[in-house]
């Protein structure tokens, strides 16, 4: 079955850390860029971070720069998002997605496969 499955979400205090994982199966990901998005209640889905197909370049939303790190292990077909110094504003459902090419996009329409999402809740 073709799928992307996120894991690693949970409840954490402000200032804490979490690492999200996204495991791919049934589809090629090594030559495609990958991205992380998040959606808070009552708000639109927002871009968080992206990484090129070979992992050589990354891009981050201003709100997470210096705190989050996106990485990938193409041999294991896993995408990661290390989140440090979490803030209450980071509370959201986090989704991973495969881009339509090896170059990453900053909008959701640039991605063709999506995971089911994992909840991250940061207490203030």
- Give CA angle at 34 (92, 39), nearest 5°: 15
Q: What's the rounded mean pLDDT across residues 21-46?
A: 95
Q: How many residues would you count in the chain? A: 124
Confidence of residue 95 (pLDDT cuts 50, 70, 90): very high
Cβ atoms 107, 101 nearer than 8 A:
no
pLDDT of amino acid 1: 80
Residue 66 has pLDDT above 90, yes or no: yes
Nearest to 13 by CA among 83, 66, 118, 81: 83
pLDDT of amino acid 77: 96
Q: What's the rounded mean pLDDT across residues 51-73?
A: 96
Confidence of residue 17 (pLDDT cuts 50, 70, 90): very high
Residue 103 has pLDDT above 90, yes or no: no
């Amino acid at each position: 079955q073709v799928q992307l499955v996120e894991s690693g979400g949970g409840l954490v205090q402000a200032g804490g850390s979490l690492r999200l994982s996204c495991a791919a199966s049934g589809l090629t990901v090594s030559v495609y860029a990958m991205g992380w998005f998040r959606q808070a209640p009552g708000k639109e889905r927002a871009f968080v971070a992206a990484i090129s197909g070979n992992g050589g370049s990354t891009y981050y939303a201003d709100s997470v720069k210096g705190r989050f790190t996106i990485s990938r292990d193409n041999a294991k077909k896993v995408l990661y998002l290390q989140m440090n110094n979490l803030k209450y504003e980071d509370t959201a459902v986090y989704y991973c997605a495969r881009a339509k090419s090896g170059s990453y996009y900053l909008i959701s329409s640039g991605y063709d496969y999506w995971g089911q999402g994992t909840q991250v809740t940061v207490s203030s």
